[in-house]
Every structure is written in C-alpha cells, then in structure tokens.
Amino acid sequence: QVQLVQSGAEVKKPGASVKVSCKASGYTFSGFHIHWVRQAAGQGLEWMGWINPDTGDTNYAQNFLGRVTMTRDSSNSLVYMEMIRLTKDDTAVYYCAKVRYYNSGRFPQLDYWGQGTLVSVSS
C-alpha cells in the first residue's frame, strides 16, 4: 500500500535550519511528483512547492524562494525539504504528499499524505 512516512518532530532556534524527510513506499517513486504543504496551528494549508523525484526538478512558492530546498535520494525513495533562516512564523506541521496523476506535473491533486512533521521554532 502507498505510504509516505516523515521524520520526527524538530525543535529549532530562530536562525537555524531544518531538514525534514519523507520516505515513499508502495508505488513507483520516480513516477509521481511530491509536494510539500505546511499548516500552522489552527490555520489553513499553505503550499510550499514540489519536486520531481525522477529528474530532481523543483518549483517553489514565491514565499519560500531562497529559503527552501527540496531534494531526493532516488535509491532510497526519499524526499527532503530543507528550510534555512527559521523564524517563529515557521512553526508549523509540514506535510509531504504525492500527486494523483502518474508522470505529470500538471493539475496536481494530492492523494496520499505523510503523517506530518511538527517543526517548532523557539528561542
């Protein structure tokens, strides 16, 4: 069965960086883009960007340009999201999710999600 399993909760100080992993299983890893979405406590969903696990191509939301990097380790079906220069406003649950349509970056609708990783930023 399809699973996305994320790394555990992180506590960071302002100015630090964090790297969250997302391990995929149960499907063809290279065939489906992975997106990252975050959610602050009690708030809605904010899209961060995507990575194509096949090519490594990425596309980031404007709000995260220069601070977020998404990478993949195809041999281990892992995707990573790294964020630098953390502030308190980055305290949120971060989700990875795969798209529904095979081998297409268009019209992404997210059919399987990781369990979420809480990143807390506090001095």
100 contributes a contact to other proteins by CB under 8 A: yes
> Rounded to whole angstroms, how far apart are CA atoms 123 and 97?
30
- The neighbouring-strand residues paired with 12 are 121
CA 93 to chain centroid = 10
Pick the piece of the chain touching other proteins (CB under 8 A) from 13-21, 22-30, 78-86, 109-117.
109-117
In the bound state with other proteins, the residue whose beta carbon lies nearer, of 16 and 67, is 67
Q: Which of 23, 61, 71, 91 binds other proteins (CB under 8 A)?
A: 61
We find the least distance from the C-beta atom of residue 75 to other proteins, in angstroms, to be 26
> Rounded to whole angstroms, how far apart are CA atoms 72 and 95?
15
116 contributes a contact to other proteins by CB under 8 A: yes
Q: Which residues in 35-58 are b (16+ Cβ under 10 Å) and which e?
A: bbbbeeeeeeeebbbbbbbeeeee
What is the identity of the amino acid at 119? Answer: V
In the bound state with other proteins, the residue whose beta carbon lies nearer, of 35 and 72, is 35
Q: Which of residues 21-50 bind other proteins (CB under 8 A)?
A: 35, 37, 44-47
In the bound state with other proteins, the residue whose beta carbon lies nearer, of 19 and 100, is 100
- Single out the residue of 80, 67, 64 nearest to residue 17, CA to CA: 67
Q: Which residues bind other proteins (CB under 8 A)?
A: 35, 37, 44-47, 59, 61-62, 95, 97, 100, 107-116
